[in-house]
Amino acid sequence: MKKYKVSVVKCSSYSSKKVREALLSCFNNIGFSFNSLKPGSKILIKPNILAPHKPEKAITTHPVVLEELCRILKKHKFEIYIGESSSNSTDKSFAVSGIAKLSKYGEIINFENQEKLFIEIEGLKTKKPLKIPLPKILFDADLIINVAKLKTHGLTQVTLCTKNLYGCVPGQLKSRFHKEFPSPKEFSKMLFNVSRKINPELNIIDGIVGMEGEGPALSGRPVKSEILVMSKNASAADIVASEIIGFDPYSIYTNKFSGIKKETIEVTGDAKNTRLNFAKPKISMIPFLPLLQRFIPQPKIKFNYDKCKQCHLCEKKCPVNAINLGPWPKCTHGKCISCLCCIEVCPHDAVYLEEPAARRMLKSVYKKFLSKNS
């Protein structure tokens, strides 16, 4: 039976020294070494740079984690590439997130401007596989290092190593695929299939400061979680991380599709017993009787007009044209597929989910029922 090692170590701050020690300790715990790679090997780092946000917002992989990784890689004289396609303004995202300054260690790559290869990806319901363009450099690199952020996500519950790789799909295609795969299950299957094609050999989760609640962007709340997670397998890292932050790991479709059982994962490191109870996103909160979900009123997209700057980004991003500005944004709820791209892209935190009172009530009844019976 195949075994997977996942290292979880404590790291209390983004001090360079602490991050470096945490990384080295993780390499040791999972038995990872760069010795099989020759000097000059191409190493591609894929961070999470969702959109132009500063590191303290905890939306993007912290630049210190990437910098310490680059320093370790430089010692081996590797060629370093750091690549991303953000949900909007990739070049600006590199700059605002503080990651552009890492160009002193290697090349910063906007995946949108790269040569692509068309890769066949299957979804759940799609009969014919989809052909998705992915940057050719993913297949030319000698090693891919996936450096995700520890965050909750309104649609997929969490965004960790598997979902981070979706940032390799260039530009607007990312939101268009929400239309092809509208349900969280279908979308997650597609995410999992994309991640399998990329298959990074090293996966790291920056959970030094994570994000809880309505992640993955400005509506979420940064939380000092003080851990760094590492594994050679993206799904194994995700299963362990999602359990640490308080989810049933197999309620997350991307974890479930991996087929990796908990018994096959060996968790090591000084923080392996950490348990955190991250606030869960509103949309994914009634885990019982999934068939009933359609009869329970769903949260609705709303706008805070005091915060809105009428920038049109949400309107442009919506894959089903459910948002119109006239001059203020409005959502046609009948068209909305709850992909939450509008929340993710809004630079002013002006889009939110409003939860109907009946749903809130059901959730609180369910919580009470769970606490009585646990």
Residues that bind ligand SF4 (CB under 6 A): 301, 303, 308-314, 317-318, 320, 322-323, 329, 331, 336-342, 346, 348, 350-351
Q: How far is the CB of 358 from ligand SF4 (least distance, A)?
A: 20
CB of residue 332 to ligand SF4, shortest distance in Å: 8
Burial class (CB in 10 A: 0-12, 13-18, 19+), 336: middle
CB distance 318 to 344 below 8 Å: no
Query: In this complex, which beta carbon is closest to ligand SF4, that of residue 265 or of residue 323?
Result: 323
Q: Smallest distance from the beta carbon of 184 to ligand SF4, in angstroms? A: 12
Strand pairing category for 130-135 and 116-121: antiparallel
CB atoms closer than 10 angstroms to residue 320: 16
Of the candidates 139, 175, 134, 188, the one whose C-alpha atom is nearest the C-alpha of residue 51 is: 175
Report in angstroms how near the CB of residue 363 gets to ligand SF4 at its nearest: 20
Residue with smaller CB distance to ligand SF4, 131 or 309: 309
Q: Pick between residue 50 and residue 141 the one whose CB is nearest to ligand SF4.
A: 50
Angle, helices 173-180/184-198, rounded to nearest 10 degrees = 130
User: Which backbone phi and psi does 20 adopt, to 5 degrees?
Assistant: -65, -45
1 and 264 in contact (C-beta within 8 Å)?
yes
Q: Which is nearer to ligand SF4, 63 or 154 (CB)?
A: 154
Please state the closest distance from residue 211 (CB atom) to ligand SF4, in A. Answer: 19
Q: How far is the CB of 29 from ligand SF4 (least distance, A)?
A: 40
Residue (272 or 317) nearer to ligand SF4, CB: 317
Nearer to ligand SF4, 285 or 336 (CB): 336
Which of residues 228 and 340 has its CB atom nearest to ligand SF4 in the complex? 340
Residues 6+ apart with CB under 8 A from 344: 50, 51, 87, 216, 217, 317
Apex CA 174: angle with CA 344 and CA 122, to 5°? 130
Residue 349 beta carbon to ligand SF4: minimum distance, rounded to whole angstroms: 8
User: What is 236-303 written as a DSSP string?
Assistant: HHHHHHHHHTT--GGGSHHHHHHT--GGGEEEESTTTT----PPPPGGG---S-GGGGGGSPPPEEEE
The nearer residue to ligand SF4, 304 or 364, going by C-beta atoms, is 304
- Extract the runs of DSSP E, i.e. beta strands, from 90-181: 107-110, 116-121, 130-135, 143-153, 157-159
Q: What's the min distance (Å) between Cβ of 213 and ligand SF4? A: 17
Contact 185, 32 (CB under 8 A): no
